[in-house]
Amino acid sequence: MGGGLQDGCVRIDATGEVVGPSTSGTEFMALSFVRQAGYREGAVTGTARLGVHRLWGQAFHVAFRFERGVLRAVHLSFCFDDPAAEKAWDHGVEMTRKRAHEDWCAERLGAPLETVAGTEGGNPAEAMRARAFPWGLVRSVYVGKGGAASLQLVYGPGT
């Protein structure tokens, strides 16, 4: 695994460890950054929220979603330098975060993510944007119900 976004991999800056489409639940649980975060159970099914880690030099809130021992998605959310922006929910802050995810992806992938048809709704800024790869998708989403923007690497065919 290369550790690049194009490969569907994330490299944890502090440890150099790589998680990607072929990482099993067992392999994940053996990683030092997982143990250091104090995560001990549930990784084979469910979501492992592991706090803030630096990936590619950028601080992200990081979560990994597993189904029956198979990694299905990595959820990333930019950390802002302003502590107030991190603590208090605000639609404008989440739209700024979503744009930052999309700009960051475009820089790393060499092209912008494309708007997914049918996700525009009433606010074009909230539309899902994605790019497909052989391993799955990179997508930028805003979930209105939860009020949060995230960058997701979603693994598997038909994602």
| Band of residue 139 on the pLDDT scale cut at 50, 70, 90 | very high
Per-residue confidence (pLDDT) for residue 45, from 0 to 100? 65
pLDDT in tens, 23-41: 988 888 889 888 777 666 5
Distances in whole angstroms, Cα of residue 95 to Cα of each of 10, 37, 87, 102, 150: 23, 29, 15, 11, 10
Q: Do 77 and 97 form a contact (C-beta atoms < 8 A)? A: yes
Domain that holds residue 64: 5-155
Per-residue confidence (pLDDT) for residue 35, from 0 to 100? 79
pLDDT in tens, 54-89: 998 899 999 999 888 888 999 999 988 776 666 777
Q: Which has more confidence, 36 or 92?
A: 92
Per-residue confidence (pLDDT) for residue 41, from 0 to 100? 58
What amino acid occupies position 2?
A: G
Q: Which two tokens stand for residue 31?
A: 């990683």
Per-residue confidence (pLDDT) for residue 42, from 0 to 100? 54
Residue 159: pLDDT above 70? no
Q: How far apart are CA 10 and CA 57, in angstroms?
A: 11
What amino acid occupies position 103?
A: D
Q: Which has more confidence, 119 or 133?
A: 133
H-run or E-run covering 50: strand 46-55
H-run or E-run covering 84: helix 83-87
Rg (C-alpha) for the chain, rounded Å, is 15
The 10 Å Cβ neighbour count of residue 114 is 12
Number of domains in the chain: 1
Per-residue confidence (pLDDT) for residue 33, from 0 to 100? 85
Q: How far apart are CA 48 and CA 89, in angstroms?
A: 22
